[in-house]
Amino acid sequence: MSDCIFCKIINHEIPGKIVYEDDVCLAFLDLSQTTDGHTLVIPKQHFNHILDVDADTLSHMIKVVQIVAKNIENKLGAKGFNIVSNMNEIAGQSVHHFHIHIIPRYNESDGFKAIYTDRSNEVDLDKIYTKLVD
């Protein structure tokens, strides 16, 4: 028996409000409900994070993200989405079973804040680029 909380939801050992399920993955409402309809898409097979998951599973999951998000758009009237996957503690991952957050957006003060700091005046873009492509 797995200690992983998401594996327990997959195995119906603990309840989850499942909104989509197929052979490969599951989508269920995130307990925190950052905004109404906040949903997690997870693979049924346990992978720790996005870099571990195989390409077929990952591509299937992103199709499911689209299906689930369209349903949220239709049923809850979401105006947009933030699609997020946190990898490792440094990035805020608290459950180490790969998952994709679907965070519906309704207005600018709806509970989710994406803060992308503009560091363009501080960094050497050429230096970073060269490191990546050399």
Q: How far is the CB of 56 from ligand DGP (least distance, A)?
A: 23
State the Cα torsion 47-50-51-52 to the nearest 10°: 10
* Stretch of residues binding ligand DGP (CB under 6 A), selected from 24-32, 44-52, 60-68, 73-81: 24-32
The helix (run of H) or strand (run of E) holding residue 27 is strand 25-29
* Secondary structure element (H or E) that encloses residue 39, with its range: strand 39-43
Q: Is 5 in the site for ligand DGP (CB under 6 A)?
A: yes
Token match 């409900």: residue? 33
Please report whether residue 107 would count as binding ligand DGP according to CB under 6 A: no
> Does the protein bind ligand DGP through residue 83 (CB under 6 A)?
no
How many helices (H) and strands (E) the chain has is answered by: 3, 5
Q: Does 128 sit near ligand DGP (CB under 6 A)?
A: no
Give the residues lining the site for ligand DGP (CB under 6 A): 5, 16, 28-32, 86, 92-95
